[in-house]
Amino acid sequence: MQSDKGLYSAPRWRLARWLAEPGPGVPDDIRAALIAQLYGSLPVFAAGAVNTIAVAAVIAGRKQTVPFVIWLVMEIAICLARLLVLVSAHRAARLQRPTPTDLHLLLAVAWSASVGFGAIVSLASGDWVVAMLASLSAAAMVGGICFRNFGAPRLAGTMILLSLGPIVPGAALAGEPLFYIVFLQVPMYLAAMTAAAFRLNRMLVTTMRAERENSHRAHHDALTGLLNRAGFVEALGGRLAARAERPFAVMFFDLDNFKPINDTFGHAAGDSVLKAVAARVRRLLPDDALVARMGGDEFVVLLDGVTAEMAQQTGHRLISEVALSYELSGEMHACIGASVGIALSPDHGADVAGLLAVADAALYQAKSGGKSRCCLASVGPTSRRCASSSRARKPLSQARPEAELVGWISKA
């Protein structure tokens, strides 16, 4: 579960899972982001911890009785434990290790219960200065609880109830009739703030869904569902930045004699063929391979952990797969070809532009040599190793007259 700071583990304990549940139908990636959001930041945590410890310390110094000393000790112990867990979680997330999410959630609940305990013993003490200070502190925490934890509205509601709810029995124990107004105020406040947490959660999830959909549209081709140019360039840049030891291949390929389909049957038929090509290539390649449509009938593949020979074998298989006939409409079928140019990292470059340029140049060499060919760039600046695919159906020559091009599209 990832955020800008790293990966955060999902809760495993039943109670922690219940507390962190954002609601039905929330995608896994959004759940991941919501879990990361619950960790917040150290400055935000420090502000709340300093406030509650300071209030507990002032009141304990004024009253110097066992309940208030217990409250102060609880506040210090819980806040210190939360600080250690928070620091440990941030470090573990950066190192991509499991994070103590269950403990983090339960300590948050314990902290809110400690705030509520301070409120009830302060009201029961009969010291109105102490009662006012503790009640104000509890009420002040509620806003922060709501706006910091609305990614998990059940957690926010539980913390609000435990921190502010004890004021009601505390007012009854105080024996002051004027305090009885909290019997009306506190339940309304609890209901309003909990409802606000759930409403904010729905707004956040809706916003995150929209952001992810926009990001998907920005990085994927609308016709084929493959990555688009921007998405592939970003993925390739990330792969190069990772500086992994395993080599990988960038394979540029485009379709031979695709234009007659658009010219003869229209762009709807051409779009159908492009979608079919994308589906075939996706099925042919491993799940971890990246496939993108760069525009028009140009595609590119990033294949991880392959040698030059393996990349060439994949290129020939790709040519053979693309060369199988396509159903256009009714009984009409068409055959096209494909030419492939291959560049390897790190042999042919260590930057995005360089690798794509080398693969594109190898593709040009393949097409210049007669199409339906796979050309592997060599380490030299101009030399290329190219081979025809014997299994590929020979595509039409560009010199054929239009009558023959139409004949190439035939009835089954």
Annotation marks residue 351 as catalytic: no
**H/E run at residue 372:** none
First to last CA, the chain: 51
Two tokens at 350? 């260590």
Q: How far is CA 141 from CA 59, 159, 161, 164, in A?
A: 17, 10, 11, 9
Return the closest-CA partner of residue 95 out of 1, 2, 7: 7
Please name the residue that has the structure tokens 């007669």: 370
Amino acid at 295: G
Return the closest-CA partner of residue 345 out of 373, 377, 315: 377
Residue among 221, 254, 256, 297 flagged as catalytic: 297
Other CB atoms within 10 Å distance of the CB of residue 370: 14
CA angle 140, 145, 147 (to 5 degrees): 105
Amino acid at 392: A
Two tokens at 68? 């208030």
Under a CB-based contact definition with an 8 Å cutoff, are residues 251 and 260 in contact? no
Contacts by 343-347, CB closer than 8 A, 24 or more apart = 343/249, 343/250, 343/252, 343/377, 344/247, 344/248, 344/249, 344/250, 344/308, 344/311, 344/376, 344/377, 345/240, 345/247, 345/248, 345/249, 345/250, 346/247, 347/247, 347/379
Distance CA(135)–CA(52), nearest Å, equals 11
Distance CA(294)–CA(278), nearest Å, equals 12
Other CB atoms within 10 Å distance of the CB of residue 372: 27
The residues annotated as belonging to the active site are 297
